[in-house]
Amino acid sequence: MLAFRYLAAALAPAFVAADVLSLSGLDWTLRNTNGSIVIPAKVPSQAHLDLLNAGIITEPLLGINGTGDFTQRWVVNENWTYTADLTPLTRNMSIDARALLVFYGIDTIANITVAGHLVAWVSNQFQQYVYDVTDFIVAPVNNDTNVTVALESAYYYGLNVTSRPDAEISPTGDFEYAGIRQYIRKTQSDFGWDWGPAFVPSGIFKPAYLVTLTPPRPHALQPDSDNAHEEPASHPLLASGRTVLIEETSLEISKVGQTTISTPNQTADWLVNVTLGVRSVVGSDFPTITVTTPELNLSSGPLPVAAIPVATNATTFLSAAFTIPDGVPERWFPHDLGTPKLYNFTVTLALTNSSESADASASFMTRSGFRTVQLVQTPYPADAAAGFGITPGDQWHFEVNGRAFYTLGTNIIPFDPFYARTTSEQVRWVLESAVKSGQNMLRVWGGGIYQPSDALTGGYDFYAACDELGIFAWSELIFSDALYPIDGWLLASVAPEVRQNVRRVNRHPSNAQWAGGNEIEGIVIGVNQSLANGTHYLDEFQTLFGEFLHDIVLEEESSVAYTDCSTTSGVLSLDPYEIRYDNKTAGFIYGNGERYNYDASQAFNYSTYPRSRFMNEFGFHSQPSFYSWEEVLTSPEDFSFNSTVVASRDHHPPAGSLAFPNPNAPQGQGQMTTAVELWLPTPNTTDSNQTFAQWCWSTQVFQSLNMVSEIAFYRRGAGEGENNLGALVWQLNDIWQGASWSAIEHSGRWKVLQYGMADILRPVVIYPFWTPDNATLEIVVTSDRWEPVQGSAALTWYDWSGNFIDSSTLPFTVPSLNNTVLLAIQELDNIIPTNHNAADVWLHLNLTAVVDNNRTVTHEQYFTPVSLATANLVDPQVSVTPGPNWTFTLSAKGGVAPFAWLDHPAGTVGFFADNTTGLPSNGFFLVPGIDRTVQFVSNPLLSTVSDPNPADFVVRSLWNNTHL
């Protein structure tokens, strides 16, 4: 290890002279098994998408197609073959060149052939593959010049594997294509989930390249002056020079002495570890890696690394490290706690066989940041727990740069059933929406896909955008809601999958941890307790998640924690790593938690909310908006809450088989129906389309009310015995147009919940906690700031006509990461204004506070003493006055409009912001005499309508549930 030095010394000249040729430019064809379908195709793509482009099928999400379970199942059952002539990329290859075929993702079971020669059989969607195909290209079979990827039906492959006499069948339930996904290293939700379809796609779904490497000629060993000052490549792949392919990279920044389980020393030097995986046509006895940070005017100097052999059929890994003093760089913080500062790093690999000059070199730029993030899982010290009133047990929270913070966020699922058509613009909009709503962490759900780092290799950008926007990503290995049988084949396939993805993600300061999978620990504990042979499954879980995956992750990184599962009871020990499982002391709190309660009568019963250190999942489902349904419904009769198509897209609870329509859908539909009927006016008008639209919207209003209540409760828990420091809502984005738990619809349209989170995730919030059992109202102010916060709260009573009744103002001080009870009153008669009926009045809560060096923040909430279903609402007579730049002033002329809501027209993507504060604002209580002006902030990259007509914006409120 060498300490840094300033950029006084000259660096070895770098070349960006790679022959990196995209396979996207080839003329591809797609063929089914018997040749009855032969159509043009693309790479990257998937069979459904090419069939759609060729007119063989309609949009998979359209109508009954969109169930993913019915009209297009024949596509799943087929074997599909992609073929292209490689000649355009190989015709100019020199005789001494080596040609490397690079696939960043194949979905999933496939034979790869080049020029008639079998290259490989692959079976893991999450691996990248590199093959030297030179010898095949120069000696084709029967003049075959093609590259061919012959994909086997993942469904039939799964049936074949599970039909083996030694196949272990999981004792747990499943979704649609049941019982096979555990044997296939493929996106688990491709086989169906309770919020999405089951298309089981296949294809070359990520970018692919042919990289040609040529040994230098004797006269070209010294770099020429024309190339001496070339800029470093923008990506390691593009830096793959004349002689070397940089196949993998890892850049990890941690503190000297830091491990995945230790508390980082915040004053220690920064340790920068760089690992390159290379294939080279030039050997090097004395290669070096040099890392520079131009903004800091720093260089590591040439760091010696292991010798590089001449090898294009295997990867050589090179590692180097150097230190930077703690005070030199600025630190990366999530956006709500500081600045997500990033630095450019230039990495130069010099292939040297003497001490005088480099025979060849490759240089690229990458971005990263300096931060520590720790998942604290150790027991609370007894004296500290007692002194602060904390319930005994283990801690479970994150710290950034040595300080505990409240984690606020949601869960991410795949952005589309077909990965290959996901764009960076779509993903960035979802991430920006998370930031706009105050979230600081997204959990990348373990049943989906390893999210990519960039578009060049991953098809779209995820982690780099998280780095830039300042939002943490909780990462997971792809295992979910099943018991995975252990065998040598699975372990041999999973090991490189995990290593490749952990190395790749290391450079991203947004990465917060690695979890082994999703929800499996609880499943295996239940199986162990309920089945006679349950210990067999527990032993397999321990082998895979408690040992195998744990060890691999810790071999590849040292800066973030590993946990065995998303929802976990925590650990008995971190060193050695021992999962707690069910070894608990009564009354203690361990690990983290989740809540799904579909009894809507209990939605606001706080005794049903877990008192957990951290809530990583909780949610309730809702329908998408009328606008989203218009994207996929094809007949007028479909526009009904329980129409065949609408109900068929409700996969909660899942069918557990290929039964169509989902026989269990009435349960999910019924849960949403009951929720609306209990808490909101039941939609019923003479206009069937309006009634359907109000039903869809009302399910979203209830979802938001429920989630806002839970978030407020968990945030309050930071100052309670549970010392809760995290709340991640299930879920942020949607995979299709159908019933789901999402806050953002498939098109990017914000649901009511997204605005509700933008409100309740503000730094300082006020909330009315009403407990019917003892008729107690507590008005609580909660802060997630690192310093005490002072402010005042105005409490104002109105009737539903908008008449002012009474008001009071209360000052408050909230300690760091804590709460203050402003008011606690028992008995409804003591709460509501004198001489008023509970159904006729409501309370407006409005807070103003000063945070973060004189920044003023506000927040408002509402308390209705009775359910809005029984409140005596008055016709609000809402009017909308358009202004310039898509501003709209909303006025109530007749009464209060609860959840006054603006919809933007079809074809537009954006959100509504308060015209004064710029903060997201929609779904508010509109009071006569207190107008609201909001502006529609459009996303021009996603909107197909660039200049919407203000007349096409629609206003609604709960009054419209029963009135036109």
How long, in residues, is the chain? 964
Cα→Cα distances 681→156, 838, 871, 932, Å: 49, 16, 9, 24
Residue with tokens 């209060």: 896
Burial of 778 (0-12, 13-18, 19+ CB in 10 A): middle
Q: Find the helix packing angle between 665-679 and 688-716, rounded to 10°.
A: 80
Cα→Cα distances 669→256, 620, 647, Å: 54, 12, 7
List 19's β-bridge partners, or say none. Answer: 212
Sign of CA dihedral 644, 649, 650, 656: positive
Please say whether the beta carbons of 282 and 215 come within 8 A.
yes
Question: What are the residue ranges in the chain where pLDDT is below 50?
Answer: 1-18, 220-228
Select which of 176, 248, 497, 519 is catalytic.
519
By percentage, how much of the chain surpasses pLDDT 70? 96
The amino acid that residue 861 corresponds to is: Q
Rounded to the nearest 10°, the torsion over CA 707, 712, 714, 719 is 180
Q: Which of 340, 341, 347, 312 is nearest to 329 (CA)?
A: 341
Q: Which of 829, 796, 839, 793 is nearest to 812 (CA)?
A: 793
Beta strands in 325-482 (DSSP E): 343-351, 360-368, 373-376, 397-400, 403-404, 407-412, 441-444, 472-476
DSSP H stretches of helix in 340-462: 382-388, 424-436, 455-458
Provide the token pair at 215: 């040994």
Provide the token pair at 334: 């999530």
DSSP, residue by residue, 606-646: GGGS---S-EEEE---BPPPHHHHHHH--SGGG-STT-HHH
What are phi and psi for residue 821, nearest 5 degrees? -85, 115
The amino acid that residue 565 corresponds to is: C
List own/partner pairs for 303-310 with CB under 8 A and 24 or more apart. 303/2, 307/283, 308/244, 308/278, 308/280, 308/282, 308/283, 308/284, 308/351, 309/280, 309/283, 310/280, 310/281, 310/282, 310/283
Q: Which of 85, 143, 83, 149 is nearest to 116 (CA)?
A: 143
pLDDT digits (tens, 9 = 90+) for 352-380: 876 555 568 899 999 999 999 999 999 99
The amino acid that residue 964 corresponds to is: L
The pLDDT of residue 354 is 62
Cα end-to-end span (Å), the chain = 73
Residues 625, 857: Cα–Cα separation, whole Å: 31
List 362's β-bridge partners, or say none. Answer: 15, 349
Look at residue 698 and give its three-state secondary structure: helix
Region at 401 (left for phi over 0; alpha for psi -120 to 50; beta for the rest): left
What residues contact 860, with CB distance under 8 A and at least 6 apart? 759, 766, 844, 845, 846, 847, 924
The amino acid that residue 284 corresponds to is: S
Residues 844, 860: Cα–Cα separation, whole Å: 7
Provide the token pair at 240: 């793959």
Q: Which of 552, 424, 427 is nearest to 477 (CA)?
A: 552
Please say whether the beta carbons of 495 and 241 come within 8 A.
no
**Bond preceding residue 661 cis, omega within 30 of 0:** yes
Q: Supply the mean pLDDT for the chain.
A: 94
Half-sphere exposure of 121 (CA within 13 A, CB side): 1
What are phi and psi for residue 354, nearest 5 degrees? -150, 175
Please say whether the beta carbons of 498 and 186 come within 8 A.
no
Residues 361, 526: Cα–Cα separation, whole Å: 56
DSSP, residue by residue, 108-130: S-EEEEETTEEEEEE-BTT--EE
Q: Find the helix packing angle between 688-716 and 752-760, rounded to 10°.
A: 20
Look at residue 223 and give its three-state secondary structure: coil
Please say whether the beta carbons of 298 and 275 come within 8 A.
no
The pLDDT of residue 386 is 83
Residues 474, 452: Cα–Cα separation, whole Å: 14
Residues 735, 412: Cα–Cα separation, whole Å: 10
Q: Which of 278, 313, 281, 315 is nearest to 120 (CA)?
A: 313
What is the C-alpha R_g of the chain? 29
Residues 73, 195: Cα–Cα separation, whole Å: 18
The whole-model pTM stands at 0.96
Residues 162, 185: Cα–Cα separation, whole Å: 14
Look at residue 701 and give its three-state secondary structure: helix
Please say whether the beta carbons of 675 and 620 come within 8 A.
yes
519 is catalytic: yes
What residues contact 947, with CB distance under 8 A and at least 6 apart? none
**Bond preceding residue 731 cis, omega within 30 of 0:** yes
Q: Which of 888, 910, 908 is nearest to 900 (CA)?
A: 888
Q: Find the helix packing angle between 549-556 and 488-505, rounded to 10°.
A: 30
Residues 572, 560: Cα–Cα separation, whole Å: 19
Residues 437, 431: Cα–Cα separation, whole Å: 10
What residues contact 409, with CB distance under 8 A and at least 6 apart? 434, 439, 440, 441, 442, 443, 471, 472, 727, 728, 729, 732
The pLDDT of residue 216 is 81
The pLDDT of residue 241 is 63
Residues 931, 876: Cα–Cα separation, whole Å: 12
Provide the token pair at 15: 């070349």
Residue with tokens 């590259």: 147
Residues 362, 14: Cα–Cα separation, whole Å: 5
